[in-house]
A and B are shown apart, each in its own frame.
Chain A
Amino acid sequence: MSEMHAETVGYVRDTMLPEQDPPATSVGAIGWLRENLFSGWFNSVLTILSLIFIYWILSALLPWFFSPTWEATSLNECREILAEMGREGHFGGACWGVIRDRWVQLLFGFYPSGLYWRPILAFILLFVALGPVLFSDYFPGKLIWFSAIYPFLMPWLLWGGSVWTPLLVIAGLGIGYGVFRVVAAAAGNLAGIIAAVIAALAWWIFLVGPLSELIHSIIPAGLNSVDSRNFGGFMLSITIGVVAIAISLPLGIVLALGRRSDLLIVKALCVGFIEFIRGVPLITLLFVASTLLNIFMPPGTNFDIILRVIIMATLFASAYMAEVIRGGLAALPKGQYEGADSLGLDYWQAQRLIIMPQALKISIPGIVSTFIGLFKDTVLVSIIGLLDPLGLSNAIRADSDWNGIVWELYGFIALLFFIFCFGMSRYSMYLERKLQTGHR
């Protein structure tokens, strides 16, 4: 056939034609629009309806939002400014003066203004401390030491007081470890752990207070102490949220393991705790913290209200966390456990090296949801009279200058909460991508 070719075909192209541009209607903006918004008559109708809807919302919202009232000093002044522009009525415009006047209060509550650097520093250091934990690829490994110190540094920065207290608290860990080594060598691991916990608790409860006072009277060093009553606004939310989040994860892991344990008493305790805490609303626990404990404790004992609230929020979150992690544990195939056993790993080695890394990875979305939920739940403390951002919004409205302002304050508070919760959510997606090993 090949020699016949020239006779049967008059012309044969021997070079490729240059590629033509695709038709103008299928590339660029137009192409994108056709592809995504107007790909059929039904989709086109939906697109147009949606655009009308969005326009309708924005045309009402944006004029309200862009309102030159930043400098106003009272709601009436806002109204005068807006009336001069001919914008009357209930939705004439936002009164942003309240944010200018009160944003510092919404962030710091009643914290002494000369000491604002302390919460700010604690907040910045929080990210330095979180860096090695959350983004281990980008931070030098040695920084993890700072992360370990941070839990003791933060309360000292926020509440102030003698520098010796956090140091002595750290020393308690060393004492616990020392007791563990001595007792474990003599009477076995379990006895060692129990003795260490008792020794450390006794040190913290009975000795740290007097000792720190004693050393402080010899070598005074410290910061001005700030009373818990002065905490408020976002500082309070973040303090409660961060501490509860940081403690509830390890506590939740322990509870989840306890619930799957073969030891009868451990299992019964964990199940009882989890089911009890999950069976009552958080607000009930907060009322217990704020009122019931007050009545049980001797008058004059100053068991810090914020500490009480943090403990309750932590217990609450850790019960949920335990169930989320138990879900991750249950999702692991049995072969993983058997594989660990076949390698001769003991229980803790198996958990640390094989089970937990996989179970936690599976549970990331659930864990982060619990974190976000917990952070938002911190606004419930306004019901027991702590002035978190929502409680402060009420207090700000009680100033006759700003009485009647609602949306501006709620909008500002919502924005700040959104930033934190959205940040956590994006981080969890990053972590899932990073830990993706392609088994799915």
Chain B
Amino acid sequence: MKKSVFLGALTVAGLSAGAAAAGTLDDVKARGTLNCGVTTGLVGFAAPDANGVWEGFDVGVCRAVAAAVLGDSTAVEFVPTTGKTRFTALASGEIDMLARNTTWTFSRDVDLKFEFTGVNYYDGQGFMVPSGLGVSSAKELDGATVCIQTGTTTELNLADYFRSNNMNYEPVPIETNAEAQQQYLAGACDVYTTDRSGLAATRAAFEAPGDHTILPETISKEPLGPLVRHGDHEWGDVVRWTLNALIVAEELGVTSANITDMASSAGDNPEINRLLGTEGNLGEMLGLEADWAVKAISAGGNYGELFERHIGESTPIGLARGLNAQWKDGGLLYAPPFR
């Protein structure tokens, strides 16, 4: 009897797997909430405040998608995931999308069967050293002890970089960023290496941030972006173009402050009109309302506003736009045309 129950369960599993793969978009609409996977906590990108409300740059993407699909930026169920559980959570359907500072790599895209829907932050691995060490370039780090989080791509990047520059280093393995801060401040290692956004956030928390320097070298490419399951292209399109709408809104000067005016009637710029649904039927093509982008942008502002509020230069983290500026300003943000 047990065996037949088990087989029966498998059959049901197979059948409904086929059925459920049909439409995440319809699932989300029927459920009325978006299940969005975020990190369990990363400064500036995702963290719950004292009232349990999630905030951050990655969280902003989730809220924009929820607003575009459901018209309500608070209709998001945030599912905290760790580095170990994030991919199974997405693959198994526990979450609809993952916005968890995940690096877009070949094997994750192809082998793990996910689809990265764009890049919301171009990061790269850097080094932080105490200013007193007198080091001004990563090339001078021969023989240094390096604090490094184990089991991450940063570990491999570090090994590659030192080998290709014919240098030696002594790794000090650590598990979490909090541990790294303590070890680094206690002098257990000369250098701390992780993504530059993480270095900036870590340094901002120090008692005397000025005593520490982030070296100019960036030794890896870390394009971080939201991702969805492979094979559900309607849903992938929704997430991809919501992110693109946020980016293009900044390029076109559409902000949360002026969007109500701009969306009230068609203006002079046809691309803005198409984006905001006052002209054309882009929303209908996505299977959403005509004003989907208006809602997405109103949720937390355009890309630039999100950046400034959560990780920009006015925040304690104080990241400059750098690579994450619009292409017109010398950055890499280049959203395809809304046409």
Q: How far is the CA of A209 from the CA of B48 in the complex (A)?
A: 34
Q: Are A79 and B40 in contact (CB-based, < 8 A)? A: no
Q: Are A295 and B40 in contact (CB-based, < 8 A)? A: no
Taking chain A's interface residues, is the majority helix, strand, or loop, or is none over half, making it mixed?
Answer: helix
Q: Which residues of B contact A396 (CB under 8 A)?
A: 41, 47
Q: Which residues of B contact A406 (CB under 8 A)?
A: 178, 181-182
* Interface membership of A59, Cβ < 8 A: no
Mark A residues whose CB is within 8 Å of B.
75-76, 79, 89-90, 101-102, 104-105, 109-110, 113, 227, 229-230, 287, 290-291, 294-301, 382-387, 391, 394-400, 403-404, 406
**Given A291-B88, A403-B316, 7 more pairs with CB closer than 8 A:** A79-B207, A299-B92, A299-B93, A385-B80, A394-B40, A395-B40, A400-B44
Q: How far is the CA of A109 from the CA of B78 in the complex (A)?
A: 13
Closest partner residue, chain B, to A294 (CB atom): B92
Q: How far is the CA of A382 from the CA of B41 in the complex (A)?
A: 12
Q: Are B85 and A398 in contact (CB-based, < 8 A)? A: no
* Interface membership of B81, Cβ < 8 A: yes
Q: Which residues of A contact B79 (CB under 8 A)?
A: 229, 385
Q: How far is the CB of B158 from chain A (nearest CB, A)?
A: 23
Q: Are B205 and A404 in contact (CB-based, < 8 A)? A: yes
Q: Which residues of A contact B21 (CB under 8 A)?
A: 299
Closest partner residue, chain B, to A88 (CB atom): B207
Closest partner residue, chain A, to B17 (CB atom): A299
Q: How far is the CB of A232 from chain B (nearest CB, A)?
A: 8
Number of contact residues on B: which range applies?
35 or more
Q: Are B48 and A300 in contact (CB-based, < 8 A)? A: no
Closest 6 CB pairs of A and B: A398-B41, A404-B205, A395-B41, A294-B92, A398-B47, A299-B93
Q: How far is the CA of A291 from the CA of B316 in the complex (A)?
A: 36
Q: Which residues of B contact A397 (CB under 8 A)?
A: 41, 43, 177-178
Closest partner residue, chain A, to B93 (CB atom): A299
Q: List 13 A-B contacts (CB under 8 A).
A: A104-B50, A227-B77, A229-B77, A291-B85, A294-B88, A300-B93, A385-B89, A386-B80, A394-B40, A395-B40, A397-B177, A398-B41, A403-B201
* Interface membership of B159, Cβ < 8 A: no
Q: Are B94 and A294 in contact (CB-based, < 8 A)? A: yes
Q: Which of B40, B178, B315 touches A400 (beta carbons < 8 Å)?
A: B315
Q: Which residues of A contact B15 (CB under 8 A)?
A: 298
Q: Which residues of A contact B202 (CB under 8 A)?
A: 403
Q: How far is the CA of A387 from the CA of B40 in the complex (A)?
A: 8
Q: Are B206 and A404 in contact (CB-based, < 8 A)? A: yes
Q: How far is the CA of A102 from the CA of B17 in the complex (A)?
A: 41
Q: Are A298 and B201 in contact (CB-based, < 8 A)? A: no
> Residues 73-85 of chain B: 1 if any A CB is under 8 Å from the residue's CB, otherwise 0?
0000111111011
Q: Which of B43, B77, B177 touches A399 (beta carbons < 8 Å)?
A: B43
Q: How far is the CA of A299 from the CA of B50 in the complex (A)?
A: 33
Q: Are B178 and A105 in contact (CB-based, < 8 A)? A: no
Q: How far is the CB of B314 from chain A (nearest CB, A)?
A: 12
Q: Are B16 and A298 in contact (CB-based, < 8 A)? A: yes
Q: Are A391 and B80 in contact (CB-based, < 8 A)? A: yes
Q: How far is the CB of A237 from chain B (nearest CB, A)?
A: 16
Q: Are A300 and B20 in contact (CB-based, < 8 A)? A: yes
Q: How far is the CA of A156 from the CA of B275 in the complex (A)?
A: 47
Q: Are A398 and B43 in contact (CB-based, < 8 A)? A: yes
Pick the most buried of B15, B93, B182, B202: most chain A CB atoms within 10 A of its CB: B93
